[in-house]
């Protein structure tokens, strides 16, 4: 017997450690995935930014060569002794630019030359006098835009004579500049899809575990419950008094109800029209006779019915879990107030206790499998409650208010039938 007594706490401790490790591992894996994804995105953005900067520098160098060729061309044409070969070479450099839009102006802002701009009206397709005006306005606007940028090279043609070369980024550079943003959006969408796909897979696996555990529990409970029911029929003939039989019958029926609940967790339960007040009163009445006399449980369910579509056995389980958690939080003495009513299209239940409270950072964590602040327990009660309320009944359960030392209020919301 001593060995059995020591084994049970060790098993519970091992289970709690395993649950905490599982939660910690899941949190670490999620963090590692997000950090890795952020690193990959940052690497791609860095590579793209490097390519954009390199191409921009190359275009600047090309424009510098083009500007030098233009300056030398002017000097060569003014030199009567220059060779035609030199002129042809400079012309080949100038004519070689067919991708970068450029404007050459004098100090007064007069456009001397332009190249590679998509003019609004080609001169050979417009009526006389119209193309020149439209193109001149277009080039003037372009010049104003380029003056506000940094793509300008000053050319000293001769002492006191300076020209200015303005140029736009090429189409390739503009497309490449926008590519990192497109890439960022694609990467974020991809990461989000993968992340939620992994979460969905893990959730599906957890659901299979829940279903398997529930069905196996219901199956294991079935045999001893059937045996107990058979013994219940024999005990009156053995002289057991009626009061004892009544109490034993309650416990056997209770075990049968628990097995039925586990069976319903493993499959989609049938929903029936239910007055929520009856479920609350039933769960509270059952718990009142099984908690310390120093813990008071009161209910206020109002005078009007609260019709909902529910599985009464499962919802009683939710209420019992909330009441048990409240009892465990109160060190043997305190007050539990259960209030129910309707707000618009919703029925609500609030379970308030005078226990030790929950830190705000744990408002959501209390519903996670394995999370518990108690010295014993598996940390599954509130997880089951959340699953029953939200997945089966289409409702919502959350911590409405709590603070360390000031008690806790859980709230459940269900759609009215």
Specify whether 301 is located in the same domain as 409. yes
Please give the Cα distance from 72 to 83 (Å, whole number). Answer: 13
State how far the Cα of 144 lies from the Cα of 111, in Å rounded to an integer.
12
410 and 277 housed in the same domain: yes
pLDDT number for residue 230? 84
pTM recorded for the entire structure: 0.51
For residue 69, tell me if it sits in a domain.
Answer: yes
Does residue 398 share a domain with residue 276? yes
- pLDDT tens digits in sequence order for the chain, 417 residues long: 334 443 344 444 444 444 444 444 455 667 887 788 788 878 877 887 788 788 878 877 777 777 777 777 666 666 655 555 555 555 566 666 777 788 888 888 888 878 777 777 765 554 444 446 788 888 888 888 888 878 888 877 777 778 788 877 777 777 777 777 787 888 888 888 888 888 888 777 776 776 777 777 777 777 788 888 888 888 888 888 888 888 888 888 878 877 777 776 656 778 999 999 999 999 998 888 788 888 999 999 988 999 999 998 889 989 999 999 899 888 788 999 999 999 999 999 999 999 999 988 889 888 887 677 665 555 678 888 998 899 889 999 999 999 888 899 999 999 998
Whether 294 and 157 share a structural domain: no
Is the same domain home to 161 and 292? no
Assess if residue 410 is contained within a domain: yes
Last residue of a domain, one of 125, 141, 169: 169
User: Which positions ≥6 away from 4 have C-beta within 8 Å?
Assistant: none
276 in the same domain as 147: no
| pLDDT for position 83 | 52
User: Of 121, 152, 169, which marks where a domain is finished?
Assistant: 169
Q: Residue 278: inside a domain, yes or no?
A: yes
β-strands 295-300, 334-343 pairing = parallel
In this structure, the answer to whether residues 405 and 285 fall within a common structural domain is: yes
Query: Looking at residue 377, which CATH number applies to its domain?
Result: 3.30.565.10
Q: What pLDDT is recorded for position 351? A: 95
Q: Tell me, yes or no, whether 280 and 406 share the same domain.
A: yes
- Cβ contact 351:336 at 8 Å: yes
67/163 Cα distance (integer angstroms): 10
Residue 100: inside a domain:
yes
pLDDT of residue 19: 46
The pLDDT assigned to 138 comes to 83
Res 248: pLDDT: 85
Q: What is the pLDDT of residue 137?
A: 84
pLDDT for position 217: 75
Domain-embedded: residue 91: yes
- Asked if residue 273 and residue 411 are part of one domain, the reply reads yes
Identify whether 121 is part of a domain.
yes
Residue 299 lies in a domain: yes
Number of domains within the chain: 2
- Residues 251-285: b if buried by 16+ CB within 10 A, e if exposed: ebeebbebbbbbbbbbeebebeebbbbebbbbbbe
- β-bridge mates for residue 342, sequence order: 347
Q: How far, in Å, CA of 408 to CA of 357, rounded?
A: 5
User: Does residue 195 lie in a domain region?
Assistant: no
**Spatial contact of 280 and 246, defined as CB atoms under 8 Å apart:** no
State which of 107, 139, 169 marks the end of a domain. 169
Structural domain for 63, as ranges: 48-169
Q: Are residues 278 and 387 in the same domain?
A: yes
The rounded distance, in Å, linking the Cα atoms of 254 and 270 is 20
């Amino acid at each position: 017997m001593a060995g059995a007594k020591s084994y049970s706490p060790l098993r519970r401790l091992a289970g709690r450690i395993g649950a905490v490790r599982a939660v910690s591992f899941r949190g670490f894996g999620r963090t590692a995935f997000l950090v890795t994804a952020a690193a990959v995105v940052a690497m791609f953005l860095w590579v793209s930014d490097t390519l954009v900067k390199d191409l921009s520098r190359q275009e600047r160098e090309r424009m510098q060569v083009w500007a030098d060729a233009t300056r030398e061309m002017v000097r060569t044409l003014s030199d009567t002794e220059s060779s035609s070969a030199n002129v042809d070479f400079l012309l080949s450099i100038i004519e070689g630019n067919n991708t970068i839009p450029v404007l050459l102006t004098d100090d007064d802002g007069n456009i001397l030359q332009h190249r590679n701009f998509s003019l609004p009206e080609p001169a050979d397709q417009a009526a006389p006098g119209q193309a020149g005006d439209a193109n001149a306005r277009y080039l003037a606007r372009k010049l104003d835009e380029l003056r506000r940028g940094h793509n300008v090279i000053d050319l000293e043609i001769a002492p006191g004579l300076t020209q200015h070369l303005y140029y736009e980024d090429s189409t390739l550079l503009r497309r490449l500049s926008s590519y990192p943003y497109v890439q960022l959006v694609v990467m974020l969408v991809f990461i989000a899809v993968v992340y939620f796909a992994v979460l969905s897979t893990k959730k599906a696996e957890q659901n299979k575990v829940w279903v398997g555990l529930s069905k196996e529990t219901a199956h294991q409970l079935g045999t001893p419950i059937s045996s107990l029911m058979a013994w219940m029929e024999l005990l009156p003939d053995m002289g057991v008094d009626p009061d004892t039989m009544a109490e034993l019958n309650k416990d056997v029926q209770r075990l049968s109800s628990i097995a039925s609940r586990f069976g319903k967790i493993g499959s989609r339960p049938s929903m029936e029209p239910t007055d929520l007040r009856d479920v609350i009163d039933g769960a509270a009445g059952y718990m009142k006779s099984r908690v310390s006399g120093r813990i008071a449980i009161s209910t206020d369910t109002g005078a009007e019915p609260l019709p909902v579509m529910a599985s009464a056995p499962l919802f009683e389980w939710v209420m019992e879990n909330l009441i048990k958690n409240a009892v465990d939080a109160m060190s043997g003495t305190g007050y539990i107030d259960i209030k129910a009513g309707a707000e618009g299209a919703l029925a609500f239940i609030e379970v308030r206790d005078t226990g030790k409270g929950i830190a705000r950072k744990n408002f959501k964590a209390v519903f996670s499998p394995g999370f518990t602040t108690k010295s014993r327990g598996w940390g599954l009660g509130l997880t089951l409650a959340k699953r029953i309320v939200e997945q089966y009944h289409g409702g919502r359960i959350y911590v409405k208010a709590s603070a360390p030392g000031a008690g806790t209020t859980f709230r459940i919301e269900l759609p009215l039938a």
